[in-house]
A = this chain, B = another copy of it.
Amino acid sequence: MLQITMIGAGNLAWHLAQALDAADCRVVQVYSRKLLNAKALASKLYDAESTDSLDFSESESDLFLLAVRDQAFAEVIPKLQLPENAIIAHTSGTQELAVLKNLSKAHGVFYPLQTFSKARKINFKKIHFCLEASNENTLDFLAEIADSLSKNIYQVSSADRRALHIAAVFACNFTNHLFTISKEILAKNDLEFEMLKPLIEETIEKAMNQAPEQSQTGPAVRGDQQTIEAHLQYLRKNTSFEKVYEALSTSIRKYYHV
């Protein structure tokens, strides 16, 4: 059975390690800067040890997965000590493949295009994996591992992965914040966010089945300046969300030339 070292114990590492452990691999080591976090994840795995040391020169793992947050890359990578001929891959949407080039000839990217929260179980079968590698063998090796989790596997260059990640920030992170804003506005009037559920479901279905650029509705695309002004006035008075409203309305009007 393939042995994997998971470097990181955050949201992504948390779910990925358990999914790999439940598939055809064994995560045998978990690193975190905070040993307690490594232990918490290791305790969820079949037989893993935890560590706060980045010296893996004696490790026999077949794959080292670097799943720390982007901000930690610059600190962690220079300290990492790997055995000779190690295979290492990172899981970031943002970082170039080349950031790993000094660690090993066999390096790659193993990026699951998904949003992870610790408390929420993820169905890996539905995840799209974006892979990239320094050579064909490493790519095949990563594809084999991804294949044990999902059938949606793509070879994606660093440039394409960056575009994907930015697109995902818009479609996922920013969308979620819009829901938060929406909920806050409703809460001020003692209205439930639940009331918008059918509307949100229809919005998503329409965007998916009919193309979002053809599904735009609302005051901005109608060029309804009077409603926009009334909304901005309300938002200025009651919330701090008027800049978001303004930026999105402007962008819609520009996009549709209204």
**Hey, which bits of chain A sit against chain B, CB under 8 A?**
11, 69-71, 94, 113-117, 119-120, 122, 126-128, 152, 154, 159-160, 162-186, 188-189, 191, 193, 195-204, 206-208, 210-222, 224, 226-227, 230-231, 234-235, 240-241, 243-248, 250-252, 254-255
Could you tell me the distance between the alpha carbons of A154 and B194 in the complex, rounded to whole angstroms?
A: 13
Which chain B residues lie closer than 8 Å to A254 at the CB level? 240
Instruction: Out of B113, B176, B235, name the residue touching A198 (CB < 8 Å).
Output: B113
Q: A178-B178, A195-B128, A251-B244 are in contact. Are A173 and B206 (CB under 8 A)?
A: no
Could you tell me the distance between the alpha carbons of A152 and B194 in the complex, rounded to whole angstroms?
A: 12
User: How far is the CB of A150 from the nearest CB of chain B, in Å?
Assistant: 9
Instruction: Out of B182, B208, B213, name the residue touching A167 (CB < 8 Å).
Output: B182
CB pair B113 A69 closer than 8 Å:
no
CB pair A199 B248 closer than 8 Å:
no
Smallest CB gap from A93: residue in B: B227
Additional A-B contact list (7), CB under 8 Å, known A69-B222, A70-B219? A113-B199, A160-B191, A163-B189, A164-B186, A170-B182, A172-B217, A180-B216
